Amino acid sequence: MIMAKPKPIEEIINEIKGFDKILVAGCNGCVAVCEAGGLKEVEILASALRMYFGNQHKNMQIDEVSLTRQCDKEYLAEIKDRIGSYDAVVSIACGAGVQFMTEMYNTKRIYPGVNTCFIGVTEEKGVWTERCQACGECILARTGGICPIARCSKRILNGPCGGSSNGKCEIDKDVPCGWQLIYERLKELGELKRFEEPVSPKDWATSRDGGPRKLVKEDSQI
Amino acid sequence: MRLNYPVGIRIVKLPCTGRVAVIHLLKALEKGADGVFVAGCMEGDCRYQAGNLRAKKRVAYVRQLLQSIGMEPERVAMYNLSSGEGPRFAEISREMAEKVRQFGPNPVKGKGVRKEKAA
Ligand code: SF4
Ligand code: SF4
C-alpha cells in the first residue's frame, strides 16, 4: 500500500494560519494503516492545532472528518454539503487523495498534511519499507520475486554492482543489497544460470518516463 | 493508609498504561488539564509485558508535539511505580502539581477554539 508520514505540524500551521475555519480530513485507506492519515491521526492533528491556535488567542474552528478513501469520488462526495463552510481543508490522505479532493472541490484550498513516501509493506508494527515503484511492467518473475527497481538503489537490471559488500548496499550499511537478495533467492530456486545472460534494457515508457499514466478497463466502465 | 495528594487531581483508572493513547493525553490538555501524568508499573514488571514501555513512547511523542505547538513538554510525564507504593504516588502527585504550578495554568483553558462535529 501507499506509505506516508505526517508533515511537521509547524509546516501545516504556517499554511493555514490565515484562515478561520478548517477541516482536517483523514483517509481510512492506506495512510491509516501506516498511522499517518487515518481517523486517529485526524484526532491528534486537529487537537494539537486547536491547542496551538487557542494559545495564539486566535478564534479558529478546526473540525474533523475521516473518509473511507479519498481516491474515490463517492467517498469524497460525503463532505459535499459541508465543505462550503470551510476556508480550507488539511487532507492527510496520500498525494493522490489530496489532488482528487482538489479536483472535486476546486474552489477550496486543500493542503497536504502528510508527505507521501512509497508503495510498501508493514515489516513490523511501526516499520514500513519500500517494495515496488509501479514501473508498469513487472519483472518479478525473472528476479525471484524481489524487485531490483525498488530494492536496488541504482535500479540496475544486471546487478549487483561493485558497491555491494557483505550483503549491504554502499549507500548505507543498514540497507540490504537488492541484488544480493535476488542472488540468494535464485540460488535457492536453482536458477543461478539467469545471471549468465544479461537482461536486456527495460522499456521505461510504462513507468513515469512515459509521462502521467492512465488505466482503462473497458469492461468495468459503465 | 491516609495519604494526602493535591485536591485538583483527577484519576483515570485503566487496566494497563498500554491503553493510554496519544489522543487521551492531548484531550486532557485540550479540555483544560494543567498537566497529565501517566503512572505505570515499574519497567520490566508489566503484566502485559510491554504496556508501560508503549505508554512511555506515547508520552515522549506527546511531549515532542507540545514542544512543536509552543507548550511546555513537561506538562505531560510518565512515572513508574509499583501498585504497593501509595506514598510514592502521593509524592509524585505533589511533585507534578508543583511543576505544573510553575508553568501557570494551561493556556488553552477557556480559549475560543471551536469544533463542530463533521460527519
Ligand atoms: S486516498 Fe491515498 S491513502 Fe487513501 S485509500 Fe486512496 S490511495 Fe490509499
Ligand atoms: S518490477 Fe515494477 S511493478 Fe514489479 S515490483 Fe518492481 S517496480 Fe513494482
Going along chain A from its start, the domains and CATH numbers come out as: 2-118 (3.40.50.2300), 136-209 (no CATH)
Give me the phi and psi of B90, to 5 degrees please.
-65, -40
Shortest Cα distance, chain A CAs vs residue B28, angstroms: 10
| Percent of chain A whose pLDDT exceeds 90 | 97
For the stretch B72-107, pLDDT in tens is 999 999 999 998 899 999 999 999 999 999 999 998
Measuring from each residue's beta carbon to the nearest atom of ligand 2, which residues come in under 6 Å? A 132-135, 138-140, 147, 149-150
Q: How far apart are CA A59 and CA B111, in angstroms?
A: 8
- What is this model's ipTM? 0.90
- pLDDT at B118 (0 to 100): 47
- Interchain CB contact of B70 with A (< 8 Å): yes
Chosen for mutation from B69, B115, B116 (greatest number of chain A CBs closer than 10 Å) is B69
Q: What is the 3-state secondary structure (H, E, C) of A34-55?
A: CCCCCHHHHHHHHHHHHHHHHH
Q: Which pLDDT does position A138 carry in this prediction?
A: 96
* Cβ-proximal residues to A112 (8 Å cutoff; 6+ apart), any chain: A7, A90, A91, A92, A95, A98
Query: Is A23 within 8 Å of A79 (Cβ atoms)?
Result: yes
Contact A9 B69 (CB under 8 A): yes
